[in-house]
Structure 1
Amino acid sequence: MLPLEKPWYQKLLALALVLGVAGGLWALLFMGIVNTGTGFFFGGSGTDWWTGAWWWILLTALGGLAVAVLRTAWKVPSEVPGAIALAQQAWIDPRTAPYWVAISVVSLITGASLGPSFALVVMGGAFGSWLVTRLGIADEEARQEYTLTGMASGLGGAFSAPIFATILASELSPTSKKNYLAAFIPELFGATVGALIFYGVTGSAILGSYPLPAFEFQYVHLLIGALLGILAAVVLIVFALVSKAVTIVFERASSPLLCGTVGGALVGLIAWALPLTATGGSSQLAAELQVSAALGSGFLAAVLIAKMVAIALSQSSGFLGGLVFPMIFVGGTAGLLVHSLFPEIPIALCVGAMLAAVPGAFLTAPVALVLIAFGTVGIAPGAMAPIGLAVVTAHITVSLFRAAVVRKQNLELEGVR
């Protein structure tokens, strides 16, 4: 049942409209600035080798330097929680949010291989945290729900997908099962209002972003989905190893300015060599799918590895941005690679399963990721089962791998003793 007897919840139901309007307006401003900037600098590039612009190296190097200067001037710590961690803690300090958002804007415009979800979560969530503080509400559950409603409003606005945004925020949140519905309703209300504002002005939505030919479901697709889930886990583990290696190298540099400049230059170099790896990856995945028939397996493998390196470099250089949509690009590219190697597997199944399962391997949000595959690729409802199986299999595989690593480390420690 809804806790309608609680005054803070009554206020939240009413103020969800305010949070939704704020989320929609924030999304309009933020996405407008970022899309204009990235479109100006990175729009119109090719999809083949070395069809980018050489001066991207200078741009991303300057971006990395600017980010390092801003982080130093504003005393932003080297470790900033990502969008996922922020949703899981369901609280954002409103005093730090403007600095994080400003740095994220600079990061994305100058070509960091990261996405907008971080800033959207920070903007919406910080407003919710500020609002509940101003109201003088001390209840911990209330403080979390105001923050989560703000987060859902920002995400729902920017992607014009309120159901996806609400389920994603709900699955990642610390909300208990018994309070799930009570939290879901104001989040959905705020996300819907935000989406109406954003879509009403821009006419753009994430739905149908990556249309692919429909396929008829067969029972063998369930087995294929499970195998794709295992492959998605392998892709994520490879990314984790790449990220770890890059982090170790950059930790040896004592100067944040040097890390930002060199790391940014390397991100620009990768984008110049393979323009499909540039920026967050949403528009690049759409372009990649349009010309997928002409892309060879070797080229797709190069794009896949290069994107992983670019993401890791962006994070280690100090850029701020989200991981969800860059990892969706990684998953979509991995799906295209699978289809190029095994053309008998429907492309929509390969791309849809990998697109959802790669981020699903580390995100505890299986329903949201199945929905995003369903909405962006346009998969028929009957074909959602193998996609869901891929997401679950990927998450279980990564969890087992982590458990095995922890067990090995514990055994090594016992051996030392």
Structure 2
Amino acid sequence: MSDGAGAPGTPGAAATTGPADPAAGPSVRKLATLAIPAIAIGIGSALSLHLLNWLAEQLQDFLWTTLPGTFGASEATPWWIFTVLTVTGMAVGLIVWLVPGHAGPDSATTELSGPFPELKALPSIALVVVLGLAGGVSLGPENPIIAINATLSIVLLARFAKVPQQQIAALAIAGTIGALFGTPVAAALVFTGMVGAMKSGGSLWDRLFLPLAAAGAGAATMDLIGGQKIAFTLEPMGTLEPIYLLTGLVVAAVSALLGIAAAWVFPFVHRAFHALPNPFIAITLGGMVLGVLGVLGGPITLFKGLDQAGQLLSDPDGYTPLQLAAFAGIKVVALLIAASAGFRGGRIFPVVFVGTAIGLLGYAVLPELPISLAVACGAMGITLVATRDGWISIFIGVALGGDIAVIAPLCIIILPIWLMVTKAPELVISPSNGEAPVSERSRWRQWRLRNRRPRG
């Protein structure tokens, strides 16, 4: 999602969206015809996300509600938290190490726009995502489910519909983003940045038409089947006052600085885990560290973070500033460990929790700052680091508090925050921050070659 990169089409390849004619946009007939596969992709993307979430929820209920009672424990029992996360790490490590496809590319090295895996990797990706979501790992489902949906869409539609693979992948991204956030607006904002850098002709809405159709279908499908949304209700800001711009800027800056610090540390943590002999050892160790962090932070710092952000917002005065700071710090460390060790998952939902905690911290220590603006600024700052996308960062900030009045101050506050973020390290492992992605299979093969015993 960062830097307006285009959406890839085939696994591992970059792609573009928009019409091929550089002078004019697509015809009305073409848009209407292509809207059919776009809507189908959106519906399919939502259904696959819902199935993945449903499986994870069933397993989560068993692991954290049903099973602990058998041993006289609860979801908050320290030794149970440590045990579940350690065993989750072992299970994910075995799959990444031994199962064909090796759970696809390392999520720490990929954006929402790819690269995408081969078809044979999808079962292992689905397995590790369900295990991670259910086991309390601090990663969201966005990167893996987009990879699954894009690859499936290409395989199922590229041969039967006269739609380029590149465009199919872009529609799968849009449909999945719409389903993830429960609204097509999020996908439209993301694709506005993506198509803005393209040279294809036609109006912006010509180029957004098909992604918006896919995103709308995905969002509507999730709404119809009871999917979750990023939408909470806080006390409205009321009339904007000049002091709000200053205090909101402080909260957003603190949030962004925490994200920048995490992005700076990320390559070092990733390199340390990937120096271990094989993914089973690395991910098991990661699970153990996550277990310790879970014991320190409690259940509220586990899982992808969206439900837990809602828990914070449901009782904003129920936590001390020290607790909120601890929640934010522990969640950031858990995110870095989970992503670096080799768990598969996205980084957006965990940083939303972190931003929520920082926003509530700002609200607690700056009494003149309205809660809806405080939370919006906290979420916007660190999301901007994680996504490098101002539109989606503003959208998440507004959606969290449910107060449309914060849009105006957010559009002002984001400007200096963008200047802080634009040249800072990104929250992704790439050659630009000093480390080239290496597949799990290649890493394991390299280790075996280094440690092969000479014959005779």
> What is the TM-score with the length of structure 1 in the denominator?
0.84
**How much has 1:6 moved relative to structure 2?**
9.2
Paired AA for residue 82 in structure 2 = I
Paired AA for residue 247 in structure 2 = I
1:221 aligns with 2:247: no
On the 8 A contact 1:65/1:257 being kept in 2, the answer is yes
**How much has 1:26 moved relative to structure 2?**
0.9
Partner Cα separation in structure 2 for residue 128 and residue 10 of structure 1:
19
**How much has 1:248 moved relative to structure 2?**
4.2
On the 8 A contact 2:104/2:124 being kept in 1, the answer is no
Partner Cα separation in structure 1 for residue 112 and residue 121 of structure 2:
13
Partner Cα separation in structure 1 for residue 170 and residue 120 of structure 2:
17
1:261 aligns with 2:284: yes
Listed as ranges, the matches of 1:361-380 within 5 Å are: 361-380=385-404
Listed as ranges, the matches of 1:52-67 within 5 Å are: 52-67=77-92
Partner Cα separation in structure 2 for residue 134 and residue 175 of structure 1:
29
Taking structure 1 as reference, are residues 290 and 166 closer, same or farther at Cα in structure 2, changes over 3 Å only?
same
- Residue 412 of structure 1 corresponds to none
1:212 aligns with 2:238: no
- Residue 106 of structure 1 corresponds to 131
Taking structure 1 as reference, are residues 349 and 5 closer, same or farther at Cα in structure 2, changes over 3 Å only?
closer
Partner Cα separation in structure 1 for residue 207 and residue 127 of structure 2:
29
- Higher mean C-alpha displacement, 298-307 vs 192-201: 192-201
On the 8 A contact 2:324/2:357 being kept in 1, the answer is yes
Taking structure 1 as reference, are residues 31 and 79 closer, same or farther at Cα in structure 2, changes over 3 Å only?
closer
- Residue 353 of structure 2 corresponds to 329
- Residue 294 of structure 2 corresponds to 271
- Residue 395 of structure 1 corresponds to 418
Partner Cα separation in structure 1 for residue 223 and residue 49 of structure 2:
10
Instruction: State, as a whole percentage, how many aligned pairs show the same letter.
Output: 21
Paired AA for residue 246 in structure 2 = L
In the alignment, structure 2 segments of 5+ residues that lack a partner are 1-23, 69-74, 435-456
- Residue 332 of structure 2 corresponds to 308
- Residue 343 of structure 1 corresponds to 367
Taking structure 1 as reference, are residues 401 and 71 closer, same or farther at Cα in structure 2, changes over 3 Å only?
closer
In the alignment, structure 1 segments of 5+ residues that lack a partner are 410-417
3-state SS in 1 of match to 2:387: coil
Paired AA for residue 111 in structure 1 = G
On the 8 A contact 1:358/1:394 being kept in 2, the answer is no
1:145 aligns with 2:167: yes
> Deviations along 1:390-416, whole A, 9 cap, x unmatched?
33433320224459xx9xx9xxxxxxx
> Deviations along 1:263-315, whole A, 9 cap, x unmatched?
10221222133222101111111112223313122222211111111111111
1:230 aligns with 2:256: no
On the 8 A contact 1:277/1:307 being kept in 2, the answer is yes
Partner Cα separation in structure 1 for residue 274 and residue 42 of structure 2:
40
- Higher mean C-alpha displacement, 353-362 vs 383-392: 383-392
Taking structure 1 as reference, are residues 4 and 145 closer, same or farther at Cα in structure 2, changes over 3 Å only?
same
3-state SS in 2 of match to 1:87: coil
1:117 aligns with 2:142: yes
- Residue 290 of structure 1 corresponds to 314
Taking structure 1 as reference, are residues 399 and 43 closer, same or farther at Cα in structure 2, changes over 3 Å only?
farther
Taking structure 1 as reference, are residues 241 and 175 closer, same or farther at Cα in structure 2, changes over 3 Å only?
closer
1:20 aligns with 2:20: no
More helix by share: 1
On the 8 A contact 2:171/2:211 being kept in 1, the answer is yes
Partner Cα separation in structure 1 for residue 118 and residue 29 of structure 2:
25
> Deviations along 1:107-126, whole A, 9 cap, x unmatched?
22122110121233123222
Partner Cα separation in structure 2 for residue 295 and residue 24 of structure 1:
35
> What is the TM-score with the length of structure 2 in the denominator?
0.77
- Higher mean C-alpha displacement, 316-325 vs 160-169: 160-169
**How much has 1:24 moved relative to structure 2?**
2.2
RMSD value over aligned CA atoms? Answer: 3.2
Taking structure 1 as reference, are residues 171 and 126 closer, same or farther at Cα in structure 2, changes over 3 Å only?
farther
- Residue 384 of structure 1 corresponds to 407
Taking structure 1 as reference, are residues 241 and 397 closer, same or farther at Cα in structure 2, changes over 3 Å only?
same
> Deviations along 1:231-271, whole A, 9 cap, x unmatched?
23211122224434433432442232222112102212221
